[in-house]
Amino acid sequence: MRFNRREFIKGSGLGALALAAGCGRGESLKPNIIFILADDLGIGDLGCYGQTRIVTSNVDRLAQEGKRFSDCYAGSPVCAPSRSVLMTGQHTGHTRVRDNFARVGGIEVTDNGPLQRRIPLAPEDVTVAQVLKGAGYATGITGKWGLSEPGSTGEPNAKGFDEWFGYLNQRRAHTYYPEYLWRNGEKEILDGNLDGAQGEYSHDLFTGFALDFIRRHNQEPFFLFLPYTIPHYALQVPDLGPYETEPWDDPDLKRYAAMVTRLDRDVGRIMALLRELGIDERTIVFFCSDNGGMGSKEAKFFNSTGPFRGHKGLLYEGGLRIPMIARWPGRIEAGTLSGLPWMFADVLPTLAELAGAPVPANVDGVSVSPELLGRGSMDRDRFLYWEFHSPRFKQAVRWGKWKAVRQGTDQPLELYDLSADIGEQRDVAGQHPEIVARILDYLRSARSESENWPVASG
């Protein structure tokens, strides 16, 4: 079955429910929520975080008009588990998907390479989209989902999204000119990309979906999730924009910069539409990345991970610390900076509180709305937890100014004082045995065993 990309995709009747509750025609106290998620964008890739070579004027304006966070963390240093944490509010010691590929079980997939296994979200996994849908929101997603295979229990339409257009998993998202994308449960063939042609750039299609979704749902509360694929490899972009004449010898540097600026351009288009429709002041916009920047030549040239150690795939700050900006005119103080440590597990309870929705009992995160709205202090010393299973089981903890990394259950705990050593260069575990003991005690109860990622096999 084929779909016209410009057709009206009827929702699930949530608009009528909102009107019945007195929530239509701009009367809602519930804010619209737009959550923009870049892919492999480093914290140092944005002008508002120190970038000088790549133009990101629209995201920089977002920061000027909202709140920028210096100590926000992804759910994981790689794609799928980070998104699982974001969607479920559970950290990687509890969430369903704990790595890109399972060690045991799962759905077998191949891509002209070794057989791999993926784990989709299960029916009992409650997502932020389901929470918001239950609160009367129209829900849409476009971009890279990363938490299901075709026909599995984790497909977006089964996890709270009324409308869905994009890549189901990262395996197909490594090209910006795919032969097909998924629209809800159906493949949509992209005629312009058949037989190796490059006529339809997926990122541009996602932005088109987003703009259309906002227009169609601007009279009711909506949740729009935009997990864009830029600037993840492959480095493909229709044009080099302002970087065509840059004196950089490697063309990949120009492509990377052009991709980031294209993302920035489309953030500007979304913000302009909110103002055009008169819904700017009742829409909260988040902008962030799914994990730390890559360890690539491009990331090194642009200093994508800033002052932090490591990169994507590692539990040091460079693999976990991400840009995070939140803007809501009149509610979030403009031009502010927050050093609150928080992470993707906090997104579900935060959005639920903003929407007046109940929070599932099994989440690990907490609402950071007091910090967003300036309505009270928050605990800056709570434990934040990560685990990662490639190529072996590893753990990390943020506790106030302390960051701990353990490279395996049989390895010693590394300890870093981030207030004095942001680059995690000096292991001070030997100088603070009481801090090490407290963190080790926390690690004993921080997680539950996973049948798909048993620690014994790591």
Q: What is the pLDDT of residue 27?
A: 41
Query: Could you tell me if residue 267 is inside a domain?
Result: yes
* Tens place of pLDDT per residue across the chain (458 aa): 232 333 322 233 333 333 333 333 334 589 999 999 999 999 999 999 999 999 999 999 999 999 999 999 999 999 999 999 999 999 999 999 999 999 999 988 766 567 788 999 999 999 999 999 999 999 999 999 999 999 999 999 999 999 999 999 877 788 999 999 999 999 999 999 999 999 999 999 999 999 999 999 999 999 999 999 999 999 999 999 999 999 999 999 999 999 999 999 999 999 999 999 999 999 999 999 999 999 999 999 999 999 999 999 999 999 999 999 999 999 999 999 999 999 999 999 999 999 999 999 999 999 999 999 999 899 999 999 999 999 899 999 999 999 999 999 999 999 999 999 999 999 999 999 999 999 999 999 999 999 999 996 44
Q: What is the CATH number of the domain that holds 259?
A: 3.40.720.10
Instruction: Count up the domains in the chain and report the number.
Output: 1
User: What is the C-alpha to C-alpha distance for residues 89 and 76, in angstroms, rounded to an integer?
Assistant: 13
Query: Could you tell me if residue 365 is inside a domain?
Result: yes
Q: What is the pLDDT of residue 169?
A: 84
Query: Could you tell me if residue 386 is inside a domain?
Result: no
- Find all residues with CB under 8 Å of 113, minimum gap 6, and list them: none
Q: What is the pLDDT of residue 171?
A: 75
User: What is the C-alpha to C-alpha distance for residues 194 and 159, in angstroms, rounded to an integer?
Assistant: 31
Helix (H), strand (E) at residue 352: helix 347-355
- Model pTM? 0.93
Query: Could you tell me if residue 176 is inside a domain?
Result: yes
For residue 14, which phi and psi values (nearest 5 degrees)? Answer: -70, -30
Task: Please say whether the beta carbons of 248 and 254 come within 8 A.
Answer: yes
Query: Could you tell me if residue 451 is inside a domain?
Result: no
For 391-421, give one letter per residue: b (16+ CB within 10 A) or e.
Answer: eebbbbbbbeebbbbbeeeeeebbbbbbeee
Query: Could you tell me if residue 53 is inside a domain?
Result: yes
Domain span at residue 373 reads 31-381
Query: Could you tell me if residue 147 is inside a domain?
Result: yes
Query: Could you tell me if residue 128 is inside a domain?
Result: yes
Structure tokens at 399: 């506790």
User: What is the C-alpha to C-alpha distance for residues 321 and 315, in angstroms, rounded to an integer?
Assistant: 10
